[in-house]
Structure 1
């Protein structure tokens, strides 16, 4: 053996030795934790490794610390880690806008609404329009809809537009009606212009009639819009949300999101539903689906009816407390034609349906166009009131129920008045829907409800409000377990968006999205669930929120 060969062999063994003894360089190790992976076995582990934004290995703390050399090592100090929370139904733009508007949430009377408006107008003299949200006449002594008389008395020269808490009704001032040239009432398909004794508009607009005024409200420029969205995003990240479903956006809003995400100006993952209109359907069926790392556009949002609180939900039989059935926002024929058209595309179909009539029509129309064995994952958003004969259709047609548990605990005070003692029993029936389909996609419907996913978790498992009312829970036969609720706000939500292979659980190869909480939601007392704080929120291995000490 010559000297050159000897030197080569020495170098070879040296590099082999270095390769065997030097730990692999990675980005992050999280250890000393109680981690709920939410995999198929609902496994618990104590550590995981992350590189290039994905989970690469799970195991014991010592094993991973010995195996890898990480740029960052995070000692969780025994805290509790879950996959990043996924809100399966929210409204990002509406939340962003609501933060700049007059909040009327919790107002106990119309007089209180007026007082809040006075304070807001005094604090914002530069505002050309006054926009508010959150009033709920069910909280008022007489429970009657407000009218514009007081708005016109105190703010005669200001256009004012105040959305009800469900965003399916609004109160407009006389000046706003004047700008919209709405000086008389007429029939609105899928909506209602309410009138006074003289037959003139009294300011209340329901469902499709709201657009007659809202289209005149000035739109925000992109720079202001991005600032608003980032502020809303900060709130979402602070409660552990890493992914959201944006339930119904205009073409302009989606175009803005594409710009913002392309510039890396937003961090939260957004599954955006296109609000189905003739122009949007034409455009997106031509351009096709869109997917980037954090923005996905592959579904349409249809609106079947209105809301129960404003009596716009379409019922099979008249309301228990009013001689009306509510109404559809389009005719059954129009729904049929639209769904047939979308069935021949790659787009998912997701439809808002509250009343039992609306749910029946949409379920039957879905079933007409879904072929046996097709994995379309079409969804019904809310699935709030279901006739007993229709529950099985979720299984037969493989329709995903996308529900919001806090609706049950917000509506329970007055929903029985709307529905009567029999229909209320098959409303907010989450357990029965779960039994039929096998999964629930859980969301909040923010800003209609609070965006904190633990509020929904609490409502789903305990069926009580923040004060623990009612004792024993509201219709507890439809409570779900904590494991089911956690799956609903992680892996099942991801599944409902075709994303279960890349997020929704802590498993090798998936996006490293996770949240660290100060206490364990799987074992904590139910009355403490809403108060558990998020310590850290991580998206793709990057900390996007950390609670200050």
Structure 2
């Protein structure tokens, strides 16, 4: 463990999350969050330069690996990198930290997550990994018994993991609660499982038509089953009780503190509504953001129009930059909402959902580009990806906006002929390696062998010269970036399956994987000159890790243990 004899008390106030709404301060998750917050309170503030030595240091320089044994920083920024002991002997740093042989890496960046959703997930019913509909309902009933919330909320169910692989029914949740509404998001956030009370409050019954870009699943008699896909979820969402800005800020802070414990020093928050912007600004004004945030405005929230009109918001220290928008072109593969050019292989007649008409999608892309915002469009299916690239091609020329570095979020199922278009247009592929290992057991059934050639094709994109960024899509996937590094390198789940990796021709090197979560993610946020690597003049965003990422067995990468996380020269997390 790293010596902390040189650290001093820093005056930071980290609010402890409320014990209501499902928070359990005795739970392992909450203990970790509180530990992170307490450690951050004792973060280091240097009165002069600080030297951290006796480390196994790595950084990337345009993809090339560089090693060092010591690093010096003063206030927020790095002042020197020392390749060996002889070199750092020249340092006149007044404070010195013995790294005790730990590995030091650039702070990791998650280029696609949902911070507010993650914060809420930490305080609601946890259904990730639950193995049946009945087990999920039991967990809901247990949570409801200990909660007085007007709504029972949760997330994480995945019917693909269940024995019958079928979508669940409202009756199971009615047994858990008939008086309070229950709303449980699927793991990908693109389907919602609700009870009868929630359907009643949303005004959904047998006569309710499917909305454009959405589907109400129905039984043989035409009655809603309790599962709503994509835009069909909106009626239930509209019935959710309001949340205050202060409460939203607490959700955000809880999530960001937890992210720091996994070695993340920055995250890109995909789809930020106006209330979330205000909550972030509250935290920023109090200097209470544990890690950096790069926000993507929800272009469909009319209350964000004022921010669009005013132009990008770039903070002097880059703790809170909001200079992009998020648009969704289609749904997700697991709920068969991803828009495909041909039928799903396991459900003939179903091609998925386009969430916006061509006219509406083009309008929002165009107005965001005109306002000087980077456009980040969710596209999973091959039809959606082609459609987005087509609109980008014409509108980038119209607005002369290539310098804004527009992105396709997920870039998941591509026609082979679309892969070179990313580089040709300067469009970034923002990908999530753990989606490949999570989807491997159902993607083949959904797509068939032929379409897998361009699916989760990270190596093919890199070989084509595409600029890429890596993330997790938390809370859809676990936010630990070492899970993503492991998935990118091995193409295996954490139980080492399948042997040799899934679609092994798409494996990438450890350097390429690390670049996704450092240099690549920084470039995708227009921040590559200040974060994403360790060099003089860059912010001192770094992590100390117990294992050597480049020397450890690749199958064990996901087990890497973060010892400390530093942002702008301040320690924001230390392992208990």
TM-score interval, smaller chain = over 0.9
**359-368 or 32-41, which deviates more:** 32-41
2:504 aligns with 476
CA contact (8 A) 1:398 1:437 kept: no
Residue of structure 1 aligned with 2:204, choices 182, 195, 207:
182
Q: Give the drift of 1:522.
A: 1.2
Q: Map residues 270-309 of structure 1 onto 2, 5 A cutoff.
A: 270-277=293-300, 279-280=302-303, 282-292=305-315, 293=317, 294-309=319-334
Aligned residue among 252, 256, 260 for 1:233: 256
- Among 114, 118, 123, the alignment partner of 2:141 is 118
Aligned position for 2:38: none
In structure 2, the partner of 1:87 is 110
- Maintained 8 Å contact 2:72/2:93: no
Q: TM-score scaled by structure 1?
A: 0.92
- 1:51-77 CA distance string (max 9 Å, x none): 12100111244544543132x311112
Q: Call closer, same or farther: CA 1:90–1:392 in 2, change over 3 Å.
A: same
Q: Which residue of 1 aligns with 2:457?
A: 429
8 Å Cα contact 2:210/2:232 also seen in 1: no
How many Å separate the matches in 2 of 1:27 and 1:520? 26
TM-score by length of 2: 0.88
Where in structure 1 are there 5+ consecutive unaligned residues?
1-23
Secondary structure of 1:33's partner? strand
Distance 1:65 1:262 in 2: 40
Q: Which moved more, 1:85-94 or 1:147-156?
A: 147-156
Structure 2 CA distance, aligned partners of 1:287 and 1:146?
45
> How does 1:95-494 map onto structure 2 within 5 Å?
95-124=118-147, 126-183=148-205, 184-277=207-300, 279-280=302-303, 282-292=305-315, 293=317, 294-322=319-347, 323-371=349-397, 374-494=402-522
Task: State the alpha-carbon separation in 2 of the partners of residues 285 and 109 from structure 1.
Answer: 44
Aligned length: 523
User: Quick check: 1:185–1:201 contact (8 Å CA) kept in 2?
Assistant: no
Q: Give the corresponding residue for 1:12.
A: none
* Bigger Cα Rg: 1
Q: In the TM superposition, what is the alpha-carbon distance from 1:128 to its structure 2 partner?
A: 1.3
Question: SS of 1:206's equivalent?
Answer: strand
Structure 2, unaligned stretches of length 5 or more?
1-45
In terms of mean alpha carbon deviation, does 304-313 or 249-258 score higher? 249-258
1:499 correspondence with 2:562: no
- Farther-moved stretch of structure 1 (101-110 vs 349-358): 101-110
For residue 65 of structure 2, give the secondary structure of its aligned residue in structure 1: coil
Preserved CA contact (<8 Å) 1:86 1:493: yes
Q: CA deviation at 1:437?
A: 3.4
Would the alpha carbon gap of residues 80 and 186 (structure 1) be closer, same or farther in structure 2, given more than 3 Å must change? same
User: Residue 68 of structure 1 is aligned with which of 92, 97, 115?
Assistant: 92
Cα-to-partner distance string for 1:183-212 (whole Å, 9 max, x where unaligned): 332130111122222222221111011111
Q: How far, CA to CA, are the matches of 1:522 and 1:537 in structure 2? A: 19
CA offsets, 1:99-137, max 9 Å, x none? 11111111111111111112111222x121100111111
1:547 aligned partner: 575
User: Secondary structure of the residue that 1:37 maps to in structure 2?
Assistant: strand
Counterparts of 1:439 and 1:364 in 2: how far apart (Å)? 18
* CA–CA distance in structure 2, aligned partners of residues 121 and 257 of structure 1: 30
In structure 2, how many angstroms separate the alpha carbons of the residues matched to 1:542 and 1:100? 28
1:51 to 68, 74, 84: 74
Partner Cα separation in structure 2 for residue 376 and residue 399 of structure 1 = 9
Contact 2:341–2:351 under 8 Å retained in 1: yes
Aligned partners of 1:314, 1:532: CA distance in 2, in Å? Answer: 36
Task: Provide the secondary structure at the position in 1 that maps to 2:188.
Answer: coil
What are the superposed Cα offsets for residues 525-549 of structure 1, whole Å, 9 maximum, x if unpaired?
012111110011101111111112x
**Does the aligned pair in 2 maintain the 1:185–1:200 contact within 8 Å?**
no
Offset at residue 327 of structure 1 (A): 1.4
The 8 Å contact of residues 369 and 401 in structure 2, kept in 1 or not, is answered as: no
C-alpha displacement at 1:280, in angstroms? Answer: 4.6
Measured against aligned partners, the alpha-carbon deviations of 1:233-278 in whole angstroms (never above 9, x if no partner) come to: 2221111100000011111111111111111122210001001116
What is the CA RMSD across the aligned residues, in angstroms?
1.6
